[in-house]
């Protein structure tokens, strides 16, 4: 699959407390900066668990498929998420 700038990404962040956060975006660099408090925005969950770092990402061509994949990943156990990242 060719990666394009407007592609959507499903991502997993590793938080300072060791927990994992899953989300989607079409601008990963900006979104990570938001989660780390450098820009306005970011999730309430990551606000108290900074700094966060990118743990894994997957590219999707549209928001719908990215949202569906995000939902699938959020339902996984931590062990299965770590297995996903390792594969």
d(CA 48, CA 22): 16
Per residue, what are the HEC states of the chain?
A: CCCCCCCEEEEEEECCCCCEEEEEECCHHHHHHHHCCCCCCCCHHHHCCCCCEEEEEEEECCHHHHHHHHHHHHCCCHHHHHHHHHC
Residue pLDDT, tens place only, 23-52: 999 999 999 999 999 999 999 999 999 999
Against a cut of 0.85, is the pTM above it?
A: yes
- Give me the domains of the chain, ranges plus CATH numbers: 8-86 (3.40.1440.10)
């Amino acid at each position: 699959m060719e990666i394009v700038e407007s592609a959507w990404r499903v991502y997993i962040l590793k938080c300072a407390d060791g927990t994992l956060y899953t989300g989607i975006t079409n601008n990963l660099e900006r979104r990570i900066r938001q989660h780390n408090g450098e820009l306005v925005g970011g999730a309430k969950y990551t606000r108290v668990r900074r700094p966060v770092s990118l743990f894994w990402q997957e590219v999707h061509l549209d928001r719908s498929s990215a949202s569906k994949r995000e939902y699938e990943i959020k339902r996984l156990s931590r062990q299965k998420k770590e297995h996903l990242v390792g594969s």
